[in-house]
Structure 1
């Protein structure tokens, strides 16, 4: 499916740049003010996930925890026939058994899943998560530089960092929990974003080979034509994956809810950045390729 009328994405990109800059500044302020709501994976402590046969409230659970001396370190999040209790300290000795006995006063059929992370492990997981993102970005830069050219590579990296940062910023603003599944989601978003961007870049490069670009207007026309050619393909792909991630968020288990939500947010920004960030950035770099802008030669394949 193709639109009879082609959209002027180069013209729209000016507003998109302003929009992204404003969101980025807001995200930086949010991170500076609130930081991230780290889950037990990145913060020492114990995380207890309880499955119940009925719904219970925080007001019912808190007094029970206070009685056994662990209430002040607990953060209680009730759900649908389940409750999550996060402790800022590691449960020691027989505290976990006392906790189980206390909860079973409310529901004898309650089942428990207790995960514990010590301080050193939490720090190591945090470092490894940062390394994973950095290494993936470096690998993408090398691949795109070899496969295309450095202008494509820089544009693609800016776009995917934009996508990843937007997800992080939204999680910071709304105090959503950041766990290992969140890191997996960010890496998945990076992979999706670069794939969508490469598809558009490949069409731009193909059109460069068979066209003559003498002015900036010629390049802008080529870029608009290339993006319009791939627009429906990008939207269809993004929408298909978005629907899957959205319903996983609605009906999936608690363990994958934050993963699914991060994917939903990242997919929206991924489709947006491929069209409005990466491609116009390439045009900007290409236009500044030489001091003499009267003649713009096509890139080598």
Structure 2
């Protein structure tokens, strides 16, 4: 082999066996939670109206509920108060009369209140949910085609398993903790897929480069090559993930309510993405490559 065997590297391939078990356990927990609880969809993905109210003073639920009951629209509503902002979610679509009356009643509580009403009808909600799923699936299909052409099918399989692992675990976390899923969440998932495949391709490219100048005689040589390839690129992966993580974390802490779920999904996804790139994707390629009959050492 062309690289120095005296250079010690962490045994990522060996540790990955335990990481697989952890990931499988998390996936099973996620499937159970999704089956039992589903996702907490925002108004973007389910029919209803969402009223965002900006106020000059803090309004409480105790002040708002009597107004809703007076108008006969209290059933199935969720009130989320804040210091200078309040959100009221209705499971039914508000008609123009109810919307006008609601604004009048709340204006009596705070004359400077301003309103933003978002309404989604049932057909639009279904279409948005369907298009979101298509967006994720099409992006994954494009990645499979690209990696298969650029590298080989084993790299493509390892990459797509890693990406689906990241995306699903982010969805599972949102299901477990009942975080709200809106359109920005879908954007975050697609962004996470982009960052994850970028880091994965960097490691795959280094593996392919090392394969060209190596003479592998056994599976242990192949494992050593994978370990050294990851070691040679791990700091780049960590720095890339860390810089974006810091930005997403402070956006979550200090950003507005409209991007809070996007930032949270990015924070969670970047952690899973860095983990899967190192401990899932490349070791999985090693498993597939080591099963190649009679040709364990040939470069792709």
Give the TM-score, by structure 1 length: 0.95
User: Do 2:241 and 2:270's aligned partners in 1 also have CA atoms closer than 8 Å?
Assistant: yes
Q: Residue deviations 1:45-98, cap 9 Å, x none?
A: 101111111222222211111111111131111123111111000001311111
How do 1:236-275 and structure 2 match up within 5 A?
A: 236-275=239-278
1:156 aligns with 2:156: no
**Does the alignment pair 1:126 with 2:129?**
yes
- Could you tell me how far apart the structure 2 residues matched to 1:24 and 1:156 are? 17
Is the counterpart of residue 165 in structure 1 residue 130 in structure 2? Answer: no
Residues of 1 paired with 2:57 and 2:205: CA distance?
A: 54
Q: 2:39 aligns with which of 33, 36, 61?
A: 36
SS in 2 for 1:299: coil
- Measure the CA separation in 1 of the matches of 2:190 and 2:82: 28
Bigger Cα displacement from structure 2, 107-116 vs 53-62: 53-62
Aligned to 2:26: 23
Q: Distance in 1 between matches of 2:194 and 2:83?
A: 33
Could you tell me which of 189, 193, 201 is aligned with 1:186?
189
Q: What residue number does 2:72 align with? A: 69
Q: Which residue of 103, 113, 118 maps to 1:110?
A: 113
Task: Please state how far the C-alpha of 1:139 moved relative to its aligned partner.
Answer: 0.3
Specify the SS of the correspondent of 2:109: coil
Identify the match of residue 227 of structure 1 among 210, 230, 250: 230
Q: What does residue 3 of structure 2 align with?
A: none
- The alignment partner of 1:83 has SS state of strand
Could you tell me how far apart the structure 2 residues matched to 1:56 and 1:214 are? 72
Long gaps (5+) in structure 1:
none
Aligned equivalents of 1:229 and 1:53: distance in 2? 55
**Number of residue equivalences:** 294
Measure how far apart 1:8 and its partner are: 1.1
Q: Distance in 2 between matches of 1:257 and 1:95?
A: 29
TM superposition score normalised by structure 2 = 0.96
Aligned-pair Cα RMSD in Å: 1.1
1:14 to 2:17 alignment: yes
